[in-house]
Amino acid sequence: MEIVGGLDLHRSQITFEVVDLRTGEVRAGKVHGPDRQRWRKWLETSFAAGDDVELVVEGCTGWRFVVEEIQRAGFTARVAEPAQAQAARGNKRRAKTDRSDARLLCRLAMEGRVPDSWIPPTVILEWRERIRSYRTLLDQRTAWAQRLHAELYQHGVAVPEAHIAADDTRALLRSDRVELTAAARERIALAYRMIDATNNELLPLAGRIRAFGRCHPATRALVAAHYGIGPLIAVAVWAELGDCRRFASSDAAVRHSGLDITVHATGNYRSGGHLARQGPSVLRWALYEAAHHASRATSPDHAYYCDVRSRIDAKRAALSVARKLARRCYHTMRQLNDEQLFAEIRT
């Protein structure tokens, strides 16, 4: 590389430090109010066409448009894993600033020690956005259903949570057969309106994701190979795991999902482990949902699930199966080529 640089991203500015390795010149400054157009103009005015430029940015919010514009300009973009990048700083000797963060990334690039994160292709980024939107809407619908259930219990109305959305339950709550205050009826009506509004966005999106999952080569491979993984869950696993060839082993895929168990031991003492939860929450949700199908007698993991459930509990059993599924999905996707993994499918 002839020119290397580090970038520290914030919504109000991008702080940069760039070193020309040919002359030793160091440039530092800020791009204020960064958006795609301002960033594109800065790249065009800061470097000449044909320059061999490598710019490093931490994998935090906003990295996507920054990386896309760097690549569009014909330069090399690298995304550094934030925790590992900061660990490379060593013992803290002075105050941490935006300038010091940019300098650190620049230094790591000069020394060839950037802890690279994988940069997914556009097709994965786009479906990752959609599956995360689906999960957000699902959580919102669940939250409103729980608020509604709590409101009913507050007024002594016993309705099983699974029956909250049923038409007969709605008719019952609108009638005079239940004793509710005026404010409670208003709150219940509001909750149902929010649930309906969420469903108006959630259900079409779910249908679109399932249609894609039934067509894409990678998601079809996951559905065909693994019990409990349907088209929607397959899209979540594919989008969040990505190119499994970047993982050295299936254990690394489990760690990426955050389903691994943390261990802290010193001397003869070892504390009880807990889930690391260091990774995409949507991936953990997808694997956990798929693992619940192991409770069915037709599942190939049914005997293992029942054994863990009898020794511990059903939740731990599902988590154990989820880890198995993560490893199996890793092996399935690792066998796919670029054309299968990153195929562009229109839905």
Is residue 222 located within the same domain as residue 332?
Answer: yes
81/194 same-domain check: no
Task: Report pLDDT digits (tens) over 255-274.
Answer: 999 999 887 766 777 666 78
346 domain-assigned: no
For 1-23, the pLDDT digits (tens) are 799 999 999 999 999 999 999 99
pLDDT at 231 over 90: yes
201 has a pLDDT exceeding 80: yes
Domain boundary among 152, 182, 213: 213
Residues 209 and 271 in one domain: no
Question: 233: domain range?
Answer: 217-341
What integer pLDDT is reported at residue 270 of this predicted model? Answer: 66
Residue 275: which pLDDT band, with cuts at 50, 70 and 90? confident
What pLDDT is stored for residue 112 in this prediction? 93
Residue 228 and residue 206 in contact, taking contact as beta carbons nearer than 8 Å: no
Q: How many structural domains compose the chain?
A: 3
pLDDT for the residue numbered 57? 97
CA distance 322 to 16: 42
**DSSP string for 62-86:** THHHHHHHHHHTT-EEEEE-HHHHH
pLDDT digits (tens, 9 = 90+) for 100-121: 999 999 999 999 999 999 999 9
Of the chain, the percentage scoring pLDDT greater than 70 comes to: 98
Question: Which of 188, 213, 238 marks a domain boundary?
Answer: 213
Work out the average pLDDT over 286-305: 96
Question: 7 — phi, psi (to 5°)?
Answer: -125, 130
Q: Is residue 347 part of a domain?
A: no
pLDDT at position 346, please? Answer: 80
Answer yes or no: is 228 within a domain. yes
319-338 confidence digits (pLDDT tens):
999 999 999 999 999 999 99
Question: Is the same domain home to 185 and 288?
Answer: no
Please answer whether residues 213 and 234 qualify as being in contact, where contact means their C-beta atoms are separated by less than 8 angstroms: yes
Please check whether residues 333 and 228 belong to one and the same domain.
yes
Report yes or no on 47 lying in a domain: yes
Quote the CA–CA distance of 288 and 325 in Å, as a whole number: 9
For residue 50, tell me if it sits in a domain. yes
Token output for 209: 């994701």
Q: How confident is the model at residue 142 (pLDDT cuts 50, 70, 90)?
A: very high
Position 28 scores a pLDDT of 96
236 contacts 288 by C-beta, under 8 angstroms = no
Measured between alpha carbons, how far is 344 from 18 in angstroms, rounded to an integer?
36
User: What's the confidence (pLDDT) of residue 95?
Assistant: 75
For residue 159, being part of any structural domain is answered with yes
285 has pLDDT over 90: yes
Same domain, 224 and 112: no
| Pair 233, 321 in one domain | yes
Whether 314 has a pLDDT exceeding 80, the answer reads yes
Question: For residue 32, what is the domain's CATH number?
Answer: 3.30.420.10
Whether the pLDDT of residue 181 is over 90: the answer is yes
Residues 87 and 192 in one domain: no
- The answer to the question of residue 134 being in a domain is yes
3-state secondary structure labels for all residues of 173-188? HHCCCCCCCHHHHHHH
What average pLDDT does range 70-86 have in this prediction? 94
pLDDT at 340 over 70: yes
Look over the chain and give the mean of its residue pLDDT values, rounded to a whole number. Answer: 93
Residue 154 has a pLDDT of: 93
State the DSSP string of 144-181.
Answer: HHHHHHHHHHHTT----GGGTT-HHHHHHHHSTTS---
Q: Is residue 268 part of a domain?
A: yes
337 plus 243 within the same structural domain: yes
Could you count the other beta carbons within 10 Å of the beta carbon of residue 158? 7
Residues 127 and 108 grouped into a single domain = no
Statement: residue 161 has pLDDT above 90: no
User: What CA dihedral angle connects 257, 263, 264 and 268, to 10 degrees?
Assistant: 180
Among candidate residues 213, 230, 260, the one where a domain is terminated: 213
Across residues 172-188, what is the average pLDDT? 92
| Local confidence band at 296 (pLDDT 50, 70, 90 cut-offs) | very high
pLDDT at residue 159 greater than cutoff 90:
no
Report the 10 Å Cβ neighbour count for 133.
Answer: 14
The reply to whether 224 and 288 lie within a common domain is yes
Give the percent of the chain with pLDDT over 90: 84
- Same domain, yes or no: 12 and 96: yes
